[in-house]
Amino acid sequence: MAKKILIVEDTKSIREIVAFMLRSKGFETEESGDGQDAEQKVRANPPDLIVLDAMLPKKTGFDVCQSLKSDEKLKKIPILMLTAITRDSGKSDEYWREKSQADDFMSKPFKATELVERIEKLLNGAK
């Protein structure tokens, strides 16, 4: 059975590109454009992994991540934050990964092959 990945990204074109790319690799995808909707979807039907943007309407990706990681039933779902927030911050991806409590953190722009590799590592239990 295909692993289900929730893609949470407010920019529709990026969300659709990531979803298309992951479906072409055999994953099942679900999409969300805001943090509040994403958290509701996770609580209703938990995915195997979440690709989460940091800057989202209604509820930030940081807030969603921290909320999910503090929930005993959901904290084991791997979360990969994929965001442009680091580009001008002067801080490393590792700093943002720790701050967000995400399992992995990638900066935009990203390479599709690297995104898929990191997703597969997370699904196989590696951080």
Find the largest Cα–Cα distance for the chain: 41
State the pLDDT at residue 101: 81
- The secondary structure element, H or E, covering residue 14 is helix 12-24
The bridge status of strand 79-83 relative to strand 104-107 is parallel
Which pLDDT tens digit goes with each residue over 12-53?
Answer: 999 999 999 999 999 999 999 999 999 999 999 999 999 999
SS3 content of the chain, % helix, strand, coil (to 5): 40, 20, 40
Which pLDDT tens digit goes with each residue over 68-103?
Answer: 999 999 999 999 998 776 555 566 656 655 666 899
Distance in Å from the first CA to the final CA of the chain: 23
Domains belonging to the chain, first-starting first, are 4-123 (3.40.50.2300)
Positive or negative torsion for Cα 57, 96, 112, 31: negative
Cα 65 to its chain centre, rounded Å, is: 9
State the pLDDT at residue 84: 77
